[in-house]
Amino acid sequence: MLERRVVITGMGVISPLGHAVDEFWRNLLAGKSGVGAITRFDTANFDTKIAAEVKNFNAENYVDKKEARRMDAFTHYALAAAKLAIADARLLESPIDKDAVGVIVGSGIGGMDTFEREARKLVEKGPGRISPFFIPMMIADIAPGHISMQYGFKGPNYATISACASSSHAIGESFRYVQRGDAEVMICGGAEATITPMGVGGFNAMKALSTRNDDPPAASRPFDLDRDGFVMGEGAGILVLESLENAVRREAKIYAEVVGAGFSADAYHITQPAPGGEGAVRAMRLALKNAGMAPEAVQYVNVHGTSTSANDKNETQAIATVFGAHASKLNLSSTKSMIGHLLGASGAVELIATALTCRDNVIHPTINQMTADPDCFLNYTPNQAVEREVNVAISNSFGFGGHNVCLVVKKFV
C-alpha cells in the first residue's frame, strides 16, 4: 500500500504563555516563564505553592455558556485549542467530507477538578447531591467526543491515556490513520487541567514537584544541577493533520510534515525510566526507521526534559546512544522550562514548538540553565534562542508506566 504524506495545516494552543500560537511562540523564543504562585486554591498546607497556570482564560469565548457549565476545565481547554486549530487550518471554509475527519485527543488524568468537587459533595452532603453530569464531565474521552459533536466530525474518535505521553500517542496514531488512508484529516493533541489540591498533593507525596516557592520563574530547570523536580502546568495543544493531497486541494498553508512515529515500553518501573533510557532509545530508533532517516539527518530534539533528576539524566544518555558522535552537533531544548509540565497535553504543545522550529529555523532556549550537571552533557540551548537551519526535528514524550513516544517532523518542501 502506498503511504501518503501527512502535513500539519493548523495548530491551536492554550498555555501558560498565551492562548494563541503566535503569542506562545514569541514568549518561548524570548525565554519567558509562565510559572507563578498557585491562585486556584489555598496552598498554605502544601509543600509546593507554585505552578504554570493558564491565565485570563474564559471558556465562554469558545463554548456556549450553558454547555461550559457541564464540562471540566480540561475539556474547555481542548475545545478552545481545537477551535483555534480548525480556524487556523481554514478547514471549514471549503467543502469537506466530515465522515473522513477524525478526532483523537489524549489526557493523562481527565476531569480531576470535577472528581474532587463531586467527591466533596458525596462526603459532605450524600450521594443525592452528586451531579448527573459528573461522569460525562470527568471521563478523559469526553474531550474528543465534544469536539466531534461540535463540528460533526465522524471519523475515528477516541482518547489516548498514557500519562505524559498521551497527546504524543494521539498524534502518532492520527499520523498513521492519515498515512494509511483511513482518514483524510485528523484533529489531534491533548488537554490537561490538574492544578488542583489532589493533583498537587499527589505529586508532592511522590516528591516529584519542585518546592522552589521563593523563585517561581526559576523553578523549572531541566538538566541543571540544582533542579529539584518538575513544575505542574496546564492547557491544551491541538493540531490538524491531513494528507498532502487534501492540503494542496484546499490551498492550505503547511507548517511542517510529519514523517515518523515510534512507540515503546520500558517494562521496568511504575515511575522511573529504564536505566540509560533504554525504552527511549528504542522509541527514537523506531521513529527514525519509520521516517526512513538516519540519525545524522536530525538537527534538533525537543526533549521531554522534565527537570527531574532521573528523567533528565536518562534522556541525555538515550540521545547519546541513538545519535552517537552526532549527538554533540544537535541542539536540544525543553519547552517545560517555561510552561511547566502539562502532563497528558505536553507532547502536543511541544510538537507545535517543534514544527515552528522547522518553519522558522530558530530554536527556543531551555531557561534556568545555571549550573552544569556532569550527567547532562549535551547542548540544551541554554537561556537564549539560537538561529539554526532545522530541516528535521524530533519530539520526545515519556510517561509514568514506561510509555515512550518519539515523533519526527521535517521542513515542508
**95-111: per-residue pLDDT in tens?**
999 999 999 999 999 99
- Residue 251 confidence (pLDDT): 96
Please name the residues in contact with 3: beta carbons below 8 A apart, sequence gap of 6 or more: 179, 180
What does pTM read for this prediction? 0.97
Q: Where are the domains of the chain?
A: 7-250, 261-410
- Give the separation between CA 287 and CA 257, rounded to whole angstroms: 14
Neighbours of 126 (CB within 10 A): 9
- Residue 66 confidence (pLDDT): 93
Looking at the chain, the whole-number percentage of residues with pLDDT higher than 70 is: 100
Catalytic residue among 164, 358, 376, 406: 164
Stretch 302-322: mean pLDDT, rounded?
A: 97
Query: Confidence class of residue 2 from pLDDT cuts 50, 70 and 90?
Result: confident
Q: Hey, CA dihedral for 337, 52, 364, 275, is it positive or negative? A: positive
- Residue 1 confidence (pLDDT): 57
Q: From residue 253, how far is each of 244, 247, 389 by CA, in Å?
A: 11, 8, 20
- Residue 282 confidence (pLDDT): 98
**271-298: per-residue pLDDT in tens?**
999 999 999 999 999 999 999 999 999 9
Query: Confidence class of residue 307 from pLDDT cuts 50, 70 and 90?
Result: very high
- Give the separation between CA 48 and CA 413, rounded to whole angstroms: 46
Catalytic residue among 304, 358, 403, 406: 304
What is the topology classification, in CATH, of domain 261-410? Peroxisomal Thiolase; Chain A, domain 1 (3.40.47)
Whether 7-250 and 261-410 share one fold: the answer is yes
Asked if residues 339 and 356 have their Cβ atoms less than 8 Å apart, the reply is no
Please name the residues in contact with 23: beta carbons below 8 A apart, sequence gap of 6 or more: 17
In the numeric block, the cell 476545565 is attached to 73
Q: pLDDT at residue 36 above 70?
A: yes
Closest by CA to 171, choosing from 381, 406, 413, 410, is: 406
Stretch 315-325: mean pLDDT, rounded?
A: 98
Please name the residues in contact with 65: beta carbons below 8 A apart, sequence gap of 6 or more: none
Asked if residues 212 and 226 have their Cβ atoms less than 8 Å apart, the reply is no
* Average pLDDT value over all residues in the chain: 97
Catalytic residue among 169, 341, 364, 403: 341
Asked if residues 16 and 25 have their Cβ atoms less than 8 Å apart, the reply is no
- Give the separation between CA 194 and CA 128, rounded to whole angstroms: 26
Neighbours of 314 (CB within 10 A): 25
In the numeric block, which cell numbers belong to residue 329?
Answer: 552537533
- Residue 94 confidence (pLDDT): 86
In the residue annotation, 341 being an active-site residue is answered as: yes
- Give the separation between CA 96 and CA 184, rounded to whole angstroms: 9
**172-208: per-residue pLDDT in tens?**
999 999 999 999 999 999 999 999 999 999 999 999 9
First to last CA, the chain: 23
Mention the CATH class of domain 7-250: alpha beta
- Residue 205 confidence (pLDDT): 97
